[in-house]
Structure 1
């Protein structure tokens, strides 16, 4: 087997997941912040700030899931049975949120759709955190198949990861509103971002302390020598970015808080990769153990090489086309 093909596919799937978390994360975060708006006009402004982007953002989720099925079918066949319930809940919540997004804008009575939008957003974010926590804590595998129970994912650690991701998405949503809206919505989002930053840092500290204490393989990865000498900049950079985010919120910057929040997510993502790579099904199966035959990987890679630039070009074009702030009572035309 060509050793480099699973590495390429792991990188592609990793990029797709990172893009999804960043791009769909802020509109899920806006859903979490929806109940704190003072009136329907403000909720309209919040929703319109993401109206041109939200459905395209979910393209990356399809690419990540499809890539896992094509390039790592063994991992897909193990992860899905292990995570069936949170995956199904996540997908239903995304559908719920999407339907609410479309119908709220044309409905005369908005209260039910407000609830649906908030509930779907929070539930989808929480489910994604639970899935992430379930992968970090590991999946029981015997003879190349899932050998655990249907509720092995349901632990205090996965619930902690779920709550942490909801808070992280809410921070991303708040900094997006600072960048993309004007008036009272932006002012309130700046105050919310300060509170959410402290909450996110607490969650990051809790997860960072819990994982090496509970999982020996992660402690070995981070604290053994010489790994420790190479990896200590990650938490240091996280602290520096958090300080910069707080300062830029105080200085009433518009764009830099959102960019810095993306940086925090990126560093957290790097930490997860460091903790688990090359295991795709921790703690037993690597990307090479679960990879498809080289012919399948090459065949799909050819299509992806042509498709990925088109997706990236579309994303860049849409975000450039709908640049600027959304004012109260205003929408994109």
Structure 2
């Protein structure tokens, strides 16, 4: 059993716009398909899909405020698009073009304007960063909430333990949203046969399991965890069970209400696919950033060591840039 620190009058239903969430899910799958194609062509690196995890992400976001902060992993880049980041901006970052919002220095999504913090390919680092932001919120007496998604590899990291221990001690407004792998046997083996939320007791925080294929159940669980966090109740571990197809579940409800889900899919997927294909061609023409820019933004100003390294690199490229060797 996990520590019980329930919010007053916890939600049992959540008012969701299923048609809007359906559009978000379809849009996410179009982005997944594009990333898979770009990865196969060698234009981007890692591109794990969000497919099957959409309820974890969009259900959680539906229960939060736009001002709440989001930390994710490589699967959750579409969260920034859901927060209003244009798909072209998202794509430019993924391609690492010179004119992208990160100047081509990172192909892992970040969107400060949407309170979506930079994704890292290192497993578990986002949990510690999330706790740091939550500590700042508490110090400022801000009633915002931080939500952090992660999977089994991150859960097994030392950073996960450090983050949850710190959050429990200081009763920080963090929702740790653990997404299971979808393979119950593998997850049970990783956790020694126990539920992941059983760890919550040890950290002195609340814990709850939720059906991650049910977008309404996810929204309710996150809304209750957020209400608890905003009123000083501290952190929550939510264990989102990945099973079934969350998009199919939403489409079943929409079909029951008389809507043509195939037409709804096409209305989102067809124009977005065309937009993205055209944008890939245009953005590739921008090319990568100039090599010397890798030394920028390391510190507020270049120090002597960086200047020496930059100048040495530029001399080397001027001498051997065409591939000749003397």
Q: What TM-score comes out, normalization by structure 2 length?
A: 0.24
Larger RCO of the pair (alpha carbons < 8 Å, separation 6+) = 1
Structure with bigger gyration radius? 2
Flag the structure with higher strand content.
Answer: 2
